[in-house]
Structure 1
Amino acid sequence: MSLLNELGLKYRTDKAVDGKRGEPGKGHDYLRVYERFSMLERTEVRKVLEIGVQKGASIRMWEEYFPSATIYGLDIAESALNVTGDRIRIQLVDQSDAAALKAFAEQNGPFDLIVEDGSHIWSHQIIGLQTLLPHLKPGGQYIVEDLHTSYAAEFGEAGGMTGVQYVLKCCEKILGSSRVRSSNEEDSLIHGLSEFIDSVMVLRYAAVFFAKPA
């Protein structure tokens, strides 16, 4: 078993294979895959940002896994401020507010790792990618979790772009390079984001964006 998954089980995060309640196979099982494919050196990571704090299970997991990193957490619930630690920094920021996200990132970034595990609402996932991808360090990683909510109507608006569709548009731009034309404002923004992206890995329920190295 990977170290990261062991820590996920220890802190009862649903990112681990057994989920919050320790029920075998009931978690999302992200962590085993993250550690297998991650190119981040644990001891060299200095800044981690996670959107979505709740009771702090994964925040504490990241703090133990990255021994030299400051772990930033964003949430809208004041109860998130109860999650404390020597290297944990929690702030109340609404992930649907692009200006607030940008201001936070400009003050505290750039980040080695960004994990988006907030509301799971399609537009919020898209705002996070649009706003925060440019605040990754070279070689950093941005993870969008719970993309399966793109297939649940309660997380979006009829006719609205889903998180999965946006991720696929980014992939299309990377794969097609200059042959994929920017026909509107949204496509132009994706073209700009692609300048930061080296590759994308698609997992079960999630996607990982890898920033270009220095």
Structure 2
Amino acid sequence: MVARWTVLAPLLQAVTAGRDLLDDTISRLTPEAVAAELVTEIGDHDVRLDLTFAGRTTSHLRTDSDVTVSLDLADAVRGLYGTGERPWPSLAVRTPDPELDERGIAGWFHSRKGLADAVQQLLSALRPGRRDLGELAVEYGSDKWGDLHWYTQHYERHFARLRDEPVKVLEIGIGGWEAPDSGGGSLRMWQRYFRRGLIHGLDIVPKTVTGPRITAIQGDQSDAEFLDRLGRDLGPFDVVIDDGSHFNDHVRTSFHALFPHVRTGGLYVVEDLQTAYWPSWGGHPDAPATTSMGMLKSFVDGLNQAEVRDPRGEGTYLERTISGISFHHNIAFVEKGRNDEEGGPAFMRTLY
């Protein structure tokens, strides 16, 4: 599972650094390997793409095309994975030798309009626009917007600060029920939203979902030992999303096993909390501590543990590392951070 990211992970880290560091990273990974990842990301196009690096050129995409787009490899990498809108300082386009035929000059100019379209489609793929999560959810078939749920508005609020970072995302539950080749809509949505992100999907059945920065893992979210190994192998994660079985004991097991593998500043998200109130899912109308919602409610008191016990006490691991919780309809966001503010002085508690 780790070997898949030996090229992408360091490349995504270096892309927003200075040009010297990016060039050094490309040299170490080899231009051929970096170019291959880039081409996998943008997909097929109707023009030839020549990528140059350190005076060498490697051709990718339609090598039989008579239209060639040339770009410096580092410029292409920064366009695809970088932040902000930069010009293309190394761009050159070569088209077929102009020949006048029976169509005349007006017909010749008209025939060239398609060349610009083809070139622009490639350049647009190399510099994808910033689209909101609702639009991406509809395009890729994620159920996080419009299919019983309206979650993407909340995700936008909490994930905006991470959008341009080289994040690692783990989502429990790939979707598609038992069909191996079905599901993955949310993974593809995250891949496009986090343009520098590595996206992992976990499902109890084997899944064949693939993508340039997507990997599917088979495993059981109720197996705490497996989840701990997964976290040690692939973490730390910036984002973990539980959209799995939604059984309350599974949700609680997954949280306790994976939250230690969330990076400081990261988020753990629990979806579909309605099952905390449904007995057939292990819930209860009053959402006691044994339910997923009861677990999350207990973290609110943990945020203020210094006011409950010793005002300068350390607290438990979760009390020290959960720095914030946000609840929305059927979804909660738990923030990983440092929570060790001291409480108010003990004498204040009995002053009046």
- Report the TM-score, using the length of structure 1 for normalisation: 0.84
Higher relative contact order (CA 8 A, sep 6+): 1
Q: What are the Cα deviations for residues 47-105 of structure 1, in whole angstroms up to 9, with x where unaligned? A: 00000002101011001110111101111112x2x100111111111000000000000
> Equivalent residues in 2 for 1:56-205 (5 A)?
56-78=184-206, 80=207, 82-156=208-282, 161-177=290-306, 179=308, 191-205=316-330
What SS class does the counterpart of residue 199 from structure 1 fall into?
Answer: strand
The separation in 1 between residues aligned to 2:135 and 2:321, in whole angstroms, is 32
Deviation at 1:39, TM superposition (A): 5.2
Which of structure 1's runs of 4+ aligned residues deviate more than 4 A?
157-160
The separation in 2 between residues aligned to 1:6 and 1:106, in whole angstroms, is 34
Check the 8 A contact 1:172/1:180 in 2, yes or no: no
What SS class does the counterpart of residue 44 from structure 1 fall into?
Answer: coil
The separation in 1 between residues aligned to 2:333 and 2:289, in whole angstroms, is 22
AA of the residue aligned to 2:335:
F
The change in CA–CA distance for 1:179 and 1:3 in structure 2 (over 3 A counts) is same
Are 1:14 and 2:14 an aligned pair? no
Task: Give 1:36's aligned residue.
Answer: 157
The separation in 1 between residues aligned to 2:232 and 2:291, in whole angstroms, is 27
The separation in 2 between residues aligned to 1:128 and 1:137, in whole angstroms, is 16
The change in CA–CA distance for 1:50 and 1:70 in structure 2 (over 3 A counts) is same
AA of the residue aligned to 1:66:
F
The separation in 2 between residues aligned to 1:160 and 1:35, in whole angstroms, is 29
Q: What are the Cα deviations for residues 4-42 of structure 1, in whole angstroms up to 9, with x where unaligned? A: 1111111121211x22xxxxxxx3111111112335331
The separation in 1 between residues aligned to 2:300 and 2:186, in whole angstroms, is 28
Check the 8 A contact 2:238/2:265 in 1, yes or no: yes
* Consecutive unaligned residues in structure 2, runs of 5 or more: 1-130, 176-182, 339-352
Q: What are the Cα deviations for residues 151-179 of structure 1, in whole angstroms up to 9, with x where unaligned? A: 11111178881100011011111134351
CA RMSD of aligned residues (A): 2.0
Deviation at 1:46, TM superposition (A): 2.2
Structure of greater Rg: 2
- Report the TM-score, using the length of structure 2 for normalisation: 0.52
